[in-house]
Structure 1
Amino acid sequence: MSERFIVRSKLRTWLCSCLLFSGLALAAEVPGIRIVYARPIQDGDSSQLYQVRLLAAALSKMGIRHHLVASEVPMVQGRSLRTVAEKHGIDVFWSMTTTEREQLLTPVRFPIDKGLYGWRILLLSPQQSQSAAPLVHLGDLKKLLLTQGHDWPDAEILRFNKLKVVPSNQYSSMFEMVASSRVDAFPRSVLEIWREQTEAKVQLPIESSLILYYPTALYYFFSREQQELAHQVERGLELMLKSGEFEAMFMQEFGDAIARSKLAERHVIQLRNPLLPAATPLNRAELWYRPTPAK
């Protein structure tokens, strides 16, 4: 083997190494697309929220390099919607779907809550928890004062079903209203109520035998200008559903809350949802949680 050949081989190896390391360095410097999500109004590190981790997983499933960033200030639902729609620095938020929201924004029609935001258990006031009057029928609920966020679709759904709602524009104040018996109950999703009861400043009782149900879905919403990104997120979620990753993440996050709720043992009061879009994929059974009837 000639000396010239050896030198050329070493030079070729050196050049390949340089190209490899420069490529790795360049890849390390590129953070991917920056996506700002509306920070919800709650304490703690929002990056650890299920909705944020699931969004990151769906993007990664599609091979999309990304950097998820929380908005500088927490936002209520109405403000989140307007900020995304008007392209004021927020790219995505998650919320219950409505016909109006799907007209203003680009929905990812994949229920990341498996429809369980429509299964509502009552957080009771001390006074109501001591009441001897049974809660069995819709008529019984019509006698109560309920509270909900002023810009939540739930408030309109409850009113449509002739229930009395005292709205609030502050999340924490609704728990205070229940604790002081200014309202009788606060309907909360089975995915939220157990955590909220633990975190509440005052221990509030949870009604044990009844559950409200209306069809709905928790979606990611992007602006109209980000339809391709929304499409990629939807594809990523569908791939996660097919592989079992979505179910695993969902049950890891909410399995305990679902088990504690004992849905199959509760008496269900079904409500109509006038805000439900016609395009909601209710016919796809694999997307929804269905309680297994008690034996």
Structure 2
Amino acid sequence: MKAVLMTAAGSPEVLQLQEVVNPTVPVGNTELLVRLVAAGVNPIDTKLRSRGTFYPEQMPAILGCDGAGIVEAVGAGVERFRPGDEVYFCYGGLGAHQGNYAEYTVVDERFVARKPASISFAEAAAAPLVLITAWEALYERGRLEPGERVLIHAGAGGVGHVAIQLAKLKGATVSTTVSTEEKANFVRQLGADHVIFYKQTNFVQAVLDWTDGEGVDLAFDTVGGETFYQTFPAVRVYGDIVTILEPDPKTVWKSARTRNLRIGLELMLTPMLLGLEESLQHHADILEQCAKWIDQGKLKIQVNHQFRLEEAAAAHQLLESGAIAGKIVLLVRDE
């Protein structure tokens, strides 16, 4: 099969399309052989490519956590799927298990969800990592409740644009930060109630004005760095802030401590890194629920750029430019 191999850590040019051995499904287990149609491209992919994977001794590597495709064959123990089923999932791509920048992959049926019927494979491949991240950050780490006010940083981004929708589905009121009028229009279409142009406006003051000086119940940081700790004063006393980035060593915690904030750290890759099978099954459950909302028209995935599999390097270059909204997808084959 054709696959994009990461031959070494470095610039996007280390991603090379090559022929590799097709994966197979061992007899008697619960794995699926999936003929991939599309693969999502995420910031974790570019970070692993530039710094090295979590398993540097296992090189070359195939990146790509997100995948969508058609079940080609099943192990003898598979119960939920059969050949021809359309699926999507977030599994592999960290350096140990093969990722989805490839024509085929093998994944356990417990970690797979049925693809939403109403969207393309490209849209489905763009969805898993950001859906799971936003779901865990808002619903599990942040314990978001109906009627609460939430601040979502970078609402037009991959995680941000689904976080806005999940927050609204929970019955929350949403404020979000954006950089341009185009992105502001986009997030308003998703349901954002209050839009802050962070380059022109002090977002903390804007949030305090919006909440009559109280602050939001929950802040969701998808940016990291100074943005994380600068957000503390925008959160109400005894409120929550969740970040998907590792806090900077220079983080000033005084305001968070004074306000008695509850700090949440969200890394949806934890189950893959630590081999937590029950949590990986929970991820599949999240995707099953999100698929229902997508098919009901309550949740949308924005794909702004599509590349062919052999253009993986160009996809990485675009993502690293930081100038996009929505998601980037690699098309493995025509739908």
Fold-level similarity (TM above 0.5): no
- Output the TM-score relative to the length of structure 2: 0.26
Greater relative contact order structure (CA < 8 Å, 6+ sep): 1
Normalized per residue, which structure has more strand?
2
Normalized per residue, which structure has more helix?
1
- Output the TM-score relative to the length of structure 1: 0.28
